[in-house]
């Protein structure tokens, strides 16, 4: 038995609490299982229609829709979920395509302490692992999507081709664009999503510009991983929000993670409060506060990371004492590192490596994206003030050598989208 298949089967025995949820066997050569959490969603069939309209890949695709409710959800949520189930079943009868099969899974009374998007995503992804075990496919793709998200017509074929042509790839962050105009939402919602998407792209591009190795978007509706990589990191977590970020930070550190920019997902900008943070809550807060500007991190905080990271190799190559070099770090970095036991950790890393490459790898595994965000939040509590996102974006683009910048948020977003379609390696100037 191949070791990867043994790992998948062991995962199912030890880490999966639900029995098989789909009674129909998978088709041979099943290649991609798309998982969609669905809680009190009125228009999930729009998402399913978008998938059904895609160009057909060479190998079969399954779509698992996890219609879920907690034991503490009001009865009307369960009623609406049952209505959604009926709509999906009607959709399946009308939309038959040989290569794409849709499987709604109805689960009510989930424990209130665990219920949420994380658990729903885990239930569906664990079922995807089970489907791949049945087809003996350890390289199968598990794709994450949301119930209010549309996809481009080449979505399925691009995913299949990318993973097939790059067998070393463990996972991908898929290019996304929120709708920024139309009649489905108010002008205020469109302006809010423009600024929020600017913030998301600003953060990732700032990390790219300073040479940070883990600069990827981590959005629940826009990623895919191989089944063996999913199992290797212990499966999806059951957080009630932010599950995508915490899951992907582990997948990314496995290595061979990539940006997939040849297709696109289109998440909804709708305001909502079902999860504690993410797009919906941020739009809700922006609108409730009647803000004109979304505030984001000061670019100077990223510049101070540049200075910090530039000194880290010297600890290995020049054998400089960490206690000595510590005082050459920027003050904001010094303050933060004092809270995360940097001196102890860097000694531990240095004592257990025999090559600079291994040393840097272990350092960045420790100073991962989670710790970067912790630093940014700390530095803005004590050293910096947040800035309007349009001002911050103009600053980093100017630092990266991009001139003739527009002032309007929409024009700036267009530039960042273009950069994300073609991720480069420009670095910020060090002041």
**Paired sense of beta strands 223-226 and 387-388, if any:** unpaired
In this predicted structure, the answer to whether residue 3 has a pLDDT above a threshold of 60 is no
Long-range contacts, stretch 12-16, CB < 8 angstroms, 24+ apart: 12/126, 12/129, 12/130, 12/133, 15/126, 15/234, 15/235, 16/126, 16/129, 16/130, 16/235
Q: Please work out, in degrees rounded to the nearest 5, the angle formed at the alpha carbon of residue 110 by the alpha carbons of 107 and 114.
A: 135
**Paired sense of beta strands 141-144 and 100-110, if any:** unpaired
How far does CA 246 lie from the centroid of its chain?
9
Environment class of residue 115 by beta-carbon count within 10 Å: exposed (0-12), middle (13-18) or buried (19+)?
buried
Could you read off the pLDDT of 354-367 as tens digits, one per residue? 999 999 999 999 99
Domain boundaries, the chain: 3-186+216-280, 299-385
pLDDT the model gives residue 430:
47
In this predicted structure, the answer to whether residue 97 has a pLDDT above a threshold of 90 is no
Q: Within a 10 A sphere around the Cβ of 28, how many other Cβ atoms?
A: 11
Directed axis angle between helix 187-209 and helix 389-399, to 10°?
Answer: 30
pLDDT the model gives residue 41:
94
Q: What is the CATH number of domain 3-186+216-280?
A: 3.90.550.10
DSSP 335-347: HHHTTTTHHHHHH
User: Phi and psi (nearest 5°) for 173?
Assistant: -100, 125
Stretch (H or E) spanning 334: helix 331-337
Q: Please work out, in degrees rounded to the nearest 5, the angle formed at the alpha carbon of residue 222 by the alpha carbons of 271 and 199.
A: 55
- Confidence class for position 293, pLDDT limits 50, 70, 90: confident
- Confidence class for position 98, pLDDT limits 50, 70, 90: confident
Torsion of CA 302, 306, 308, 313, to 10 degrees: 150
Token pair listed for 67: 């219609």
Q: For residues 396 and 321, what is the distance between their CA atoms, to the nearest angstrom?
A: 33
- Confidence class for position 292, pLDDT limits 50, 70, 90: confident
- Confidence class for position 95, pLDDT limits 50, 70, 90: confident
CB 118, CB 207: distance < 8 Å: no
In this predicted structure, the answer to whether residue 379 has a pLDDT above a threshold of 50 is yes
Q: Say which DSSP state 97 is in.
A: B
Instruction: Please name the residues in contact with 17: beta carbons below 8 A apart, sequence gap of 6 or more.
Output: none
Q: For residues 154 and 174, what is the distance between their CA atoms, to the nearest angstrom?
A: 12
pLDDT the model gives residue 1:
41
pLDDT the model gives residue 47:
98
Stretch (H or E) spanning 398: helix 389-399
Residue closest to 306 by CA, chosen among 211, 392, 394: 211
In this predicted structure, the answer to whether residue 343 has a pLDDT above a threshold of 80 is yes
- Confidence class for position 286, pLDDT limits 50, 70, 90: confident
Q: For residues 107 and 151, what is the distance between their CA atoms, to the nearest angstrom?
A: 26
Stretch (H or E) spanning 94: helix 75-94
In this predicted structure, the answer to whether residue 431 has a pLDDT above a threshold of 60 is no
Alpha-helical (H) ranges within 95-232 are 117-134, 155-165, 187-209, 227-232
CB 215, CB 200: distance < 8 Å: no
Environment class of residue 146 by beta-carbon count within 10 Å: exposed (0-12), middle (13-18) or buried (19+)?
buried
Q: Half-sphere exposure of residue 117, counting CA atoms within 13 Å on the CB side?
A: 24
In this predicted structure, the answer to whether residue 423 has a pLDDT above a threshold of 60 is yes
For the chain, the average pLDDT equals 93
- Please tell me the total number of residues recorded for the chain in this structure: 431
What distance, in Å, lies between the first and last C-alpha atoms of the chain? Answer: 56
- Confidence class for position 424, pLDDT limits 50, 70, 90: low
Residue closest to 415 by CA, chosen among 288, 426, 346: 426
Q: For residues 242 and 236, what is the distance between their CA atoms, to the nearest angstrom?
A: 11
Coil vs helix vs strand at 5: helix
Strand arrangement, sheet containing 171-176: 100-110, 61-70, 32-38, 141-144, 223-226, 171-176, 257-266, 150-151
pLDDT the model gives residue 248:
97
Could you read off the pLDDT of 238-266 as tens digits, one per residue? 998 889 999 999 999 999 999 999 999 99
Q: For residues 364 and 358, what is the distance between their CA atoms, to the nearest angstrom?
A: 10
pLDDT the model gives residue 222:
98
- Confidence class for position 113, pLDDT limits 50, 70, 90: very high
Could you read off the pLDDT of 30-56 as tens digits, one per residue? 999 999 999 999 899 999 999 999 999
Residue closest to 50 by CA, chosen among 150, 154, 155: 150
In this predicted structure, the answer to whether residue 305 has a pLDDT above a threshold of 70 is yes
Token pair listed for 151: 């996809």
What's the whole-number mean pLDDT along residues 272-295?
71
- Confidence class for position 131, pLDDT limits 50, 70, 90: very high
The DSSP bridge partners found for residue 141 are: 32, 226
pLDDT the model gives residue 428:
64
pLDDT the model gives residue 118:
94
What's the whole-number mean pLDDT along residues 94-121?
93
- Confidence class for position 17, pLDDT limits 50, 70, 90: confident
Q: Within a 10 A sphere around the Cβ of 310, how many other Cβ atoms?
A: 13
- Confidence class for position 288, pLDDT limits 50, 70, 90: confident
Percent of the chain at pLDDT above 70?
95
In this predicted structure, the answer to whether residue 272 has a pLDDT above a threshold of 50 is yes
């Amino acid at each position: 038995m191949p070791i990867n298949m043994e790992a998948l089967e062991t995962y199912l025995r030890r880490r999966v609490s639900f029995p098989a949820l789909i009674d129909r066997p998978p088709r041979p050569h099943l290649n991609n299982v798309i998982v969609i959490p669905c809680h009190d969603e009125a228009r999930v069939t729009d998402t399913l229609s978008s998938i059904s309209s895609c160009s057909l890949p060479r190998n079969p695709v399954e779509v698992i829709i996890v219609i879920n409710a907690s034991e503490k959800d009001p009865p009307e949520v369960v009623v609406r979920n049952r209505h959604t189930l009926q709509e999906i079943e009607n959709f399946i009868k009308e939309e038959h395509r040989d290569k794409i099969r849709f499987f709604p899974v109805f689960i009510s009374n989930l424990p209130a302490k665990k219920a949420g998007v994380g658990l729903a995503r885990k239930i569906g992804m664990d079922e995807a692992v089970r489907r791949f075990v049945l087809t003996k496919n350890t390289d199968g793709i598990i794709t994450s999507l949301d119930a209010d998200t549309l996809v481009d017509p080449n979505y399925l074929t691009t995913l299949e081709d990318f993973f097939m042509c790059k067998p070393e790839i463990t996972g991908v962050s898929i290019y996304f664009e929120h709708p920024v105009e139309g009649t489905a939402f108010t002008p205020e919602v469109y302006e809010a999503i423009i600024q929020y998407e600017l913030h998301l792209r600003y953060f990732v591009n700032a990390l790219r510009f300073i040479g940070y190795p883990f600069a990827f978007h981590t959005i629940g509706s826009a990623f895919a991983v191989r089944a063996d990589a999913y199992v290797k990191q212990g499966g999806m977590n059951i957080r009630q929000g932010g599950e995508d970020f915490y899951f992907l930070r582990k997948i990314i550190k496995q290595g061979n993670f990539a940006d997939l920019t040849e297709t696109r997902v289109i998440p909804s900008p709708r305001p909502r409060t079902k999860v504690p943070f993410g797009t919906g809550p941020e739009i809700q807060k922006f609108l409730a506060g009647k803000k004109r500007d979304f505030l984001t991190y000061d670019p100077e905080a990223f510049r101070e990371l540049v200075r910090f990271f530039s000194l880290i190799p010297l600890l290995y190559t020049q054998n400089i004492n960490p206690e000595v070099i510590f005082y050459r770090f920027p003050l904001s970095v010094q303050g933060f590192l004092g809270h995360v036991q940097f001196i102890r950790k860097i000694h531990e890393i240095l004592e257990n490596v025999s090559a600079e490459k291994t040393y840097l790898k272990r350092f960045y595994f420790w100073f991962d994206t989670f710790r970067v965000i912790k630093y940014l939040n700390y530095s803005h509590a004590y050293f910096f003030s947040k800035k309007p996102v349009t001002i911050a974006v103009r600053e980093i683009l100017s630092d990266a050598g991009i001139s003739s910048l527009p002032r309007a948020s929409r024009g700036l977003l267009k530039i960042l989208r273009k950069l994300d379609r073609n991720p480069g390696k420009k670095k910020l100037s060090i002041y």
